[in-house]
């Protein structure tokens, strides 16, 4: 199915659908006239004598060099080739396609000056499955994501490499196999394609969706942990959370109450329990993970705005008849959003890791056997699984340090303050993968701990979750080779199987609200 997008109004839900299901996308035909009008204004300027940046001048520090009219096509081609300086592992296909869709949305606002033939080629590449190979390193998020987007544009002119039908090949070969033809770039078109924040924004959006999925999964795994240690549900009472008023906190408490409703384990110790309060990692889950969700919601709104923005330079202001240089390519909003997402991911993992430590520690776990093994001593149980979560938690703490504060001047000091949004966004994939493991181990521990409470039964909701876990992770009786077990549990978190096992009140996939 092809998604029709109205520039300026694309939603996170639409973009999530495009990314997750690798859908094609086209612009609403109502956008075509604006695109064409801007292209006509650029063509008029290119034929004139006035120096206009990126149309008939050099770029960056070379903006003072005037380019002859007969050389403007060569100027745009040279721009693309010279900027293809990306290094590192290629961006995955789904995120690359999302980046292309974001570029479509930006061009569709009718302020970039590209021809409809250029827009149509991007749409056809999405339809036919021609995906440029985009090296993931090389952008500082300054004059746009220059290097990554140059590799996208290179495929459009028949240079570089692309993926087609699951194979990596030369771009011209991929285009030919798809029945497409490379284009020659007109005035400003190369600059319009490589100026912009679409690489950073695509990576940040994927990081946002992964973080939101992990946050929802952590509500499920915390419910397992709470029942495993026979924790109190009194701190989940709605009145406590509405008195504070934060939406995320209220939502987390409500969802966890629903998950634990009807647990025999919980009912068994409502009276006569000598514990006054559980540790913070249990008692303050709504306050911590709820705050992280509020932060994700804020970052999501920023990225939704950016996804619909025009971020190249110069901008074509058709109504005023002007082509004006500005700085919309600076990715500071994206960098800030990515840094916020990183903090949220780190904190969700930090409090989850403490729940794992709580369950395996015989001095804290309220009568659970040491390291959750029925025969401790001969068996080490989940001792080192907890150590792994500690390692990943620490790694995420380091990765959560802000990137946007690490500006460095580039391009002969013309670009003297940069956002570092690209690697702020890229590191989110690694952080979410680490969090998948932390939450996967928590799910293993929670299910194992609940098993030791038999004959008391957990709630129907949590039984459903444990049933899913047990499809790939058998209960731990004797020590076994554990790496595949951790991998399976992490995959269950990543692909949302534990979330799908229950109805989390108010949580919707691909959204960052309640």
Identify the H or E element spanning 208.
helix 198-228
Report which of 454, 490, 478, 448 is spatially closest to residue 466, judged by C-alpha positions. Answer: 448
Q: How many CB atoms lie within 10 A of CB 495?
A: 12
CA distances in angstroms from 156 to 97, 151, 153, 184, 273, listed in the order given: 14, 9, 5, 9, 68
Q: Point out the residues that are catalytic.
A: 53
Q: Which residues does residue 4 pair with via DSSP β-bridges, in sequence order?
A: 26
CB 26 within 8 A of CB 107: no
Q: Who's near 106: CB < 8 A, 6+ residues apart?
A: 7, 112, 196, 198, 309, 310, 311, 312
CB 125 within 8 A of CB 187: no
Identify the H or E element spanning 316.
strand 315-317
Report which of 197, 192, 155 is spatially closest to residue 54, judged by C-alpha positions. Answer: 192
Q: Which residues does residue 66 pair with via DSSP β-bridges, in sequence order?
A: 57
Sign of CA dihedral 263, 264, 269, 271: positive
How far, in Å, CA of 348 to CA of 216, rounded? 10
End-to-end CA distance of the chain: 27
């Amino acid at each position: 199915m092809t998604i029709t997008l109205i520039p300026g109004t694309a939603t996170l839900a639409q973009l999530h659908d495009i990314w997750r299901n690798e859908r094609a996308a086209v612009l609403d035909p109502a956008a075509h006239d604006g695109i064409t009008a801007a292209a006509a204004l650029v063509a008029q300027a290119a034929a004139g004598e006035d120096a206009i940046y990126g149309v008939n001048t050099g770029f960056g520090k070379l903006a003072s060099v005037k380019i002859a009219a007969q050389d403007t096509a060569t100027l745009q081609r040279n721009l693309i080739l010279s900027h293809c300086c990306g290094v590192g592992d290629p961006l995955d296909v789904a995120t690359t396609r999302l980046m292309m869709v974001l570029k479509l949305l930006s061009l569709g606002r009718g302020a970039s000056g590209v021809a409809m033939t250029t827009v149509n080629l991007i749409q056809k590449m999405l339809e036919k499955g021609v995906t440029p190979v985009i090296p993931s390193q090389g952008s500082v998020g300054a004059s746009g994501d220059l290097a990554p987007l140059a590799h996208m544009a290179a495929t459009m002119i028949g240079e570089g490499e692309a993926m087609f039908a699951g194979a990596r090949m030369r771009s011209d070969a991929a285009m030919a196999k798809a029945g497409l033809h490379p284009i020659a770039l007109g005035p400003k078109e190369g600059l319009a394609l490589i100026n912009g924040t679409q690489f950073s924004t695509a990576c940040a959006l994927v990081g946002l969706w992964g973080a939101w999925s992990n946050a929802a999964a952590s509500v499920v795994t915390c419910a397992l942990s709470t029942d495993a240690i026979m924790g109190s549900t009194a701190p989940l009472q709605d009145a406590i959370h509405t008195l504070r008023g934060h939406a995320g906190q209220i939502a987390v408490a409500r969802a966890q109450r629903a998950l634990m409703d009807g647990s025999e384990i919980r009912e068994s110790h409502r009276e006569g329990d000598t514990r006054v309060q559980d540790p913070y990692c249990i008692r303050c889950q709504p306050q911590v993970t709820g705050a992280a969700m509020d932060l994700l919601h804020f970052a999501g709104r920023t990225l939704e705005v950016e996804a619909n923005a025009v971020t190249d330079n110069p901008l074509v202001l058709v109504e005023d008849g002007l082509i004006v240089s500005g700085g919309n390519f600076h990715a500071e909003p994206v960098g800030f959003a990515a840094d916020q997402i990183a903090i949220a991911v780190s904190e969700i993992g930090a409090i989850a890791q403490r729940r794992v430590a709580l369950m395996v520690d015989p001095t804290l776990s309220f009568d659970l056997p040491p390291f959750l093994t029925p025969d401790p001593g001969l068996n080490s149980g989940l001792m080192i699984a907890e150590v792994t979560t500690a390692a990943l938690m620490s790694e995420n703490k380091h990765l959560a340090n802000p990137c946007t504060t690490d500006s460095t001047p580039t391009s002969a000091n013309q670009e003297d303050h940069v956002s570092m949004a690209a690697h702020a966004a890229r590191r989110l994939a690694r952080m979410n993968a680490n969090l998948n493991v932390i939450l996967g181990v928590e799910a293993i521990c929670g299910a194992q701990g609940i098993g030791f409470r038999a004959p008391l039964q957990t709630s129907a909701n949590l039984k459903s979750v444990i049933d899913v876990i047990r499809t790939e992770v058998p209960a731990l009786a004797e020590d076994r080779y554990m790496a595949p077990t951790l991998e399976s549990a992490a995959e269950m978190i990543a692909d949302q199987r534990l979330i799908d096992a229950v109805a989390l009140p108010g949580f919707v996939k691909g959204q960052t609200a309640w």
